[in-house]
Chain A
């Protein structure tokens, strides 16, 4: 199995932890993994991404355009920004919940999230839209969007890992007091 996954969002949304959980789950199944992510100044409210590559014969942790089997987008605008990385026929899973930039609040940028979702519906054949507000309410915390999206990708089969694989990874990577909340988030979009 060779798989390229892009995770994208806004600094603070938990893309890095999501990437770490996928990697740990893959490692546990003896699948070689490489990843790369945004670190440093851009993390402070900027656009962030993780590239994650699984399988044999990979040299670079970076993914080229048109090469991603799966894009997990934590934010509609960031989904559009990263769309050129999706391969023809690749799967995109996107959260509906926008993060408004400070520039928009100051009137410097006309960001309209609903136009982003429209654009994605027109141009992505395999698109799954996750109603983040409903899923997060079901999970019982506003801060577990990463697990919600991972759970959705596992349930759909695009991740190549099961929810049980991810549950194992949560056990090794996350402090115990958060386990229950994270398990709930994992299945907020349905079991598999």
Chain B
């Protein structure tokens, strides 16, 4: 054993390696991404790792690996679980031989997701047991426990951290590589009665799963993942308690220290719910406040337990207005709620009252200075000026094309959805010129069925592929268009243009968006074609390159019109003393501003910084 300062996600990766995982796959998504990246960096030779094309494929690969007796880990964010739900729902009925851990990171807030969905519900829906860690150290231990559990009971198991657990760092104790479990899988053994899903098998296994999960409620009631921190004190004060799970449990632990040390129930396995442990906790209490994020899962389970066992304990939380219905909990919100519930003034360190501050800067996330997506959006905007259009966006950095002054994202739903929406608008409003924007990673992950559908069903729209040769938003992961794999191989790229032509898209043109004139002309030419046609804007992500030049303003020439700022909203440009000013710490020298400056005042210089 040794100590390391690790992010929760890194701890999960090392825990999986310690548990002898052999296959790790997934699709990037905040806040889950670092798990797989850490496996790739720290893996022993026998471990296979890949970024799969999407979560559904990843789930199927992990499931197949578990069929052989190998331990497998599949990673995704909560939105990805929606994509992977088809194979997972069925895998639960088939069962596994090797341990299969499904790492799904939830995102209360949400901080970087479309929904605040709660994977604990998905656990109950799919009947897959779920471990819910509160700290990085616990996540490290739980992932190992989850593998044992998965194998012992023949079921996939969820490990479900949330953002603050996944992205929080702590100095934790981890095993040395020599201590990692090493085990050769038995291999796939033919048995169609086991591996081929038919209604008869599903009927039989459904019953077995329900019986097993009822049994697991008892097993988990005795597991330290679910435990009671005893209270201190007596009388009426000792008749109240707190119940919490995930990161909120740590907030509750610290709130107890500053209010009153009441009993605290920790729920580490929200499904199957440890009923007997809950009964033990509730039996001595009149009132319980539930502290959790996303859905009131613990709260509803405790109400259910009270009804089932005839307990009189009153349960408070989201449904009673004692806790917020949406968004993240914080140390402060939990402390305040606990103080009200316990009728105790919080001790020490109250924030001082301050007069309201001057107007604070508003900082919405923006496309980086020099981002080629800015140039692509601007080119389409210029090309289609004055026409009736719709610009359907998608999920990735380029969602930020919605910001003023670009204002080039009219819709955004989920990965790949822009293609479907564009087709619908085209059918209903044939006089509108429809565009669907999709990134290169998203193109492979979820756009292909949409293109096939559009071509075959005679839709008419322009597909714009924003190809920056990486999965940028989540931190630059490879995908089939990049030509490298997580195993370190350099391989043939899958060509976006060839794929499109193969499907039957006849007009496919590729252009560098940073060449503004050519880009605008290309969009005009392509958009005028009938049917499904495509523009591929290809220029690498600026965050991946060390730029050799940056822009500078010739203040003698600058006429102070601010067109460069009003048109493209680059964070590297501002006005100073009536003239444009370039921030050398941000500028990457893309030169887009120089191409639209009416006075020729912007020029590139060699970058020495």
- Chain A residues close to B by CB (< 8 Å): 10-12, 23-24, 27, 32-37, 39-47, 59-67, 77, 80-81, 83-85, 87-88, 99-106, 108-112, 115-116, 119, 123, 141-143
Is chain B's interface secondary structure helix, strand, loop, or mixed overall?
loop
Neighbour of B30 across the interface among A39, A46, A80, CB < 8 A: A39
Q: Which of A36, A66, A83, A108 has the most CB of B within 10 A?
A: A36
Q: How far is the CB of A177 from chain B (nearest CB, A)?
A: 13
Q: How far is the CB of B41 from chain A (nearest CB, A)?
A: 16
Q: Is the CB of B358 within 8 A of A119?
A: yes
User: Can you list 7 A-B pairs with a CB-CB distance of less than 8 A?
Assistant: A44-B367, A44-B397, A60-B247, A88-B352, A111-B362, A116-B357, A141-B609
Neighbour of B167 across the interface among A10, A27, A39, A106, CB < 8 A: A39
User: What string of 1s and 0s marks CB contacts (under 8 Å) between B562-581 and chain A?
Assistant: 00011001110111000000
Q: How far is the CB of B511 from chain A (nearest CB, A)?
A: 25
Top 10 nearest A-B pairs (CB, nearest first) are: A66-B351, A60-B250, A64-B331, A40-B112, A61-B168, A65-B351, A59-B250, A40-B30, A111-B361, A44-B365
Which chain B residues numbered 153 to 188 have a C-beta less than 8 Å away from chain A? 164, 167-171
B609 — which chain A residues lie within 8 A by C-beta? 141-143
Q: Which residue on A lies nearest to B165, using beta carbons?
A: A61
Neighbour of A106 across the interface among B111, B112, B355, B565, CB < 8 A: B565
Neighbour of A112 across the interface among B167, B170, B352, B358, CB < 8 A: B358
Q: Is the CB of A143 within 8 A of B171?
A: no
B573 — which chain A residues lie within 8 A by C-beta? 105
Q: Is the CB of B362 within 8 A of A109?
A: yes
Give Cα A88–Cα B111 distance, bound, in whole angstroms: 30
Q: Is the CB of A66 within 8 A of B363?
A: no
Q: Is the CB of A143 within 8 A of B335?
A: no
Q: Is the CB of A116 within 8 A of B358?
A: yes
Q: Is the CB of A44 within 8 A of B400?
A: yes
Q: Is the CB of A34 within 8 A of B169?
A: yes
A83 — which chain B residues lie within 8 A by C-beta? 354, 357
Give Cα A33–Cα B330 distance, bound, in whole angstroms: 19
B585 — which chain A residues lie within 8 A by C-beta? 12, 142-143
Q: Is the CB of B254 within 8 A of A59?
A: yes
Q: Is the CB of A33 within 8 A of B5?
A: yes
A46 — which chain B residues lie within 8 A by C-beta? 363-365
Q: In this assembly, does B366 line the interface, its C-beta being within 8 Å of a C-beta of chain A?
A: yes
Q: In this assembly, does B31 line the interface, its C-beta being within 8 Å of a C-beta of chain A?
A: yes
Q: In this assembly, does B1 line the interface, its C-beta being within 8 Å of a C-beta of chain A?
A: no
Q: Is the CB of B574 within 8 A of A100?
A: yes
Q: Is the CB of A37 within 8 A of B167?
A: yes
Which chain B residues numbered 247 to 268 have a C-beta less than 8 Å away from chain A? 247, 250-251, 253-254
Q: In this assembly, does B189 line the interface, its C-beta being within 8 Å of a C-beta of chain A?
A: no
B368 — which chain A residues lie within 8 A by C-beta? 44-45
Q: How far is the CB of A142 from chain B (nearest CB, A)?
A: 5
Q: Is the CB of A84 within 8 A of B354?
A: yes
Q: Which of B404, B566, B569, B571 has the most CB of A within 10 A?
A: B571
User: What string of 1s and 0s marks CB contacts (under 8 Å) between B344-358 and chain A?
Assistant: 000001111011011
Q: Which of B167, B361, B364, B575 has the most CB of A within 10 A?
A: B361
Q: Is the CB of B168 within 8 A of A36?
A: yes
B230 — which chain A residues lie within 8 A by C-beta? none
Neighbour of A41 across the interface among B30, B253, B359, B405, CB < 8 A: B30
Assuming the contacts A42-B112, A64-B335, asked whether A104 and B574 have C-beta atoms less than 8 A apart, the reply is: yes
Q: How far is the CB of A5 from chain B (nearest CB, A)?
A: 13
Q: How far is the CB of A85 from chain B (nearest CB, A)?
A: 8
Q: Is the CB of B363 within 8 A of A103?
A: yes
Q: Is the CB of A101 within 8 A of B5?
A: no
Q: Is the CB of A61 within 8 A of B404?
A: no
Neighbour of B169 across the interface among A35, A43, A109, CB < 8 A: A35
Q: In this assembly, does B332 line the interface, its C-beta being within 8 Å of a C-beta of chain A?
A: yes
Q: Is the CB of A106 within 8 A of B566?
A: yes
Q: How far is the CB of B157 from chain A (nearest CB, A)?
A: 25
Q: Which of A24, A64, A100, A111 has the most CB of B within 10 A?
A: A64
Give Cα A64–Cα B348 distance, bound, in whole angstroms: 12
Give Cα A12–Cα B369 distance, bound, in whole angstroms: 11
A44 — which chain B residues lie within 8 A by C-beta? 365-368, 397, 400
Q: Is the CB of A77 within 8 A of B332?
A: no
Q: In this assembly, does B473 line the interface, its C-beta being within 8 Å of a C-beta of chain A?
A: yes
A67 — which chain B residues lie within 8 A by C-beta? 331, 349
